[in-house]
Amino acid sequence: MRTTGQRYRKTGSAGQLNVKGARQARMPATFSPMLATLVDDPISQPGWIYEPKLDGIRAIAMIRQGQVTLLSRRGLDLTSQFPNIVADLEKNSDRNLILDGEIVALDDKNRPSFQLLQQRSAFTGRSDGKSQHAIVYYIFDIAYLDSDLLIGVPLSDRKELLADTVKATRAVQLVQHFQGDGVKFFEACVRNGMEGMVEKRLDSAYEAGKRSRAWLKVKSTNSAEFLISGHTIGTGARNSSFGALVLGYYDGSGRLKYAGRVGTGFDEKLLKDILKRIGPLKTKVNPFAGKVPIASAIQWLKPELVAEIRFAEITNEGRLRVPVFLRLRDDIDPKDVRLKQQMPARGT
């Protein structure tokens, strides 16, 4: 069994961690991850660290009395889908832990590829464990250790506790973080095919279940999640599927608002997959709060499927310019789909 570093040695009969902000508590049954705020530009200032933004599935690992459970951002059980990760996490099973990280599939150049992860098993329920592409759980935070809740511990100390506690293996790795010039780090991430970067304030607590300004994400391209709420009727080469997907998002009052439609970004396999998924969602009721400015016929859908869309910009009316379909996002709760306008990083 690994021991926690000298700085964080256990003290007293209660065995509490000797670190500011740690609190003895029962290990919670569930745990919601902290979320980053999307901003326009990278920052460079003291007291912040920088991590690559990995293109995968956010996952919470809960290790309780030797039992490993992997949970998605919305609480779905992923344990059976990633047996290689579970097996390696069991090597840390002598500790009670809550870990936060990203499950990624690495391509031939060791770059994260969401498409490979999606094809492998993440959204199909298959579990083979024999993919030719490495499936790795990259951990970047720790929220519970032995008998202590760490959400009140500064990030700088949580990082040290994480490095001292978790055993790196082939399928379980720690995310490396950097300090210094955030702009240059972002540029390096883009050059190396990363989705962007995440900036984190070293003195920040872990705000479970909240979107925080203590974590900022900068993306190399504009993309966001929208609800598939209908589709136009396909013609020509698309007469057996659909023309374009009608997209929406919830406003602050919980009303579904029209965001535009997307008709590009699909290959034949994806068209068939989406057609199969939207079949049970057909409805005669317009789910939007108001009329949709589309002249052609629309097949309405219950807004239960989330799609990630790349776009040039979002207009003042909340409409997408030059949208391109990227992928389905089963890891995001449809009720959480809001229009997240990018916020400027300056002044943080």
Q: How many residues does the chain have?
A: 348
The rounded distance, in Å, linking the Cα atoms of 2 and 243 is 57
Distance of alpha carbon 214 from its chain centroid, rounded? 17
Q: Would you please indicate which residues are annotated as catalytic (active-site) residues? A: 53
Residue 14 and residue 198 in contact, taking contact as beta carbons nearer than 8 Å:
no
Rg (CA), the chain: 22
Question: Residue 24: in which H helix or E strand, if any?
Answer: strand 23-24
DSSP assignment of 233-250: PP-GGGTTS-S-EEEEEE
Three-point CA angle 97, 102, 108, nearest 5°: 135
The tokens for 29 are: 């049954």
Three-point CA angle 329, 330, 331, nearest 5°: 90
* Tokens 């500064």 sit on residue: 154
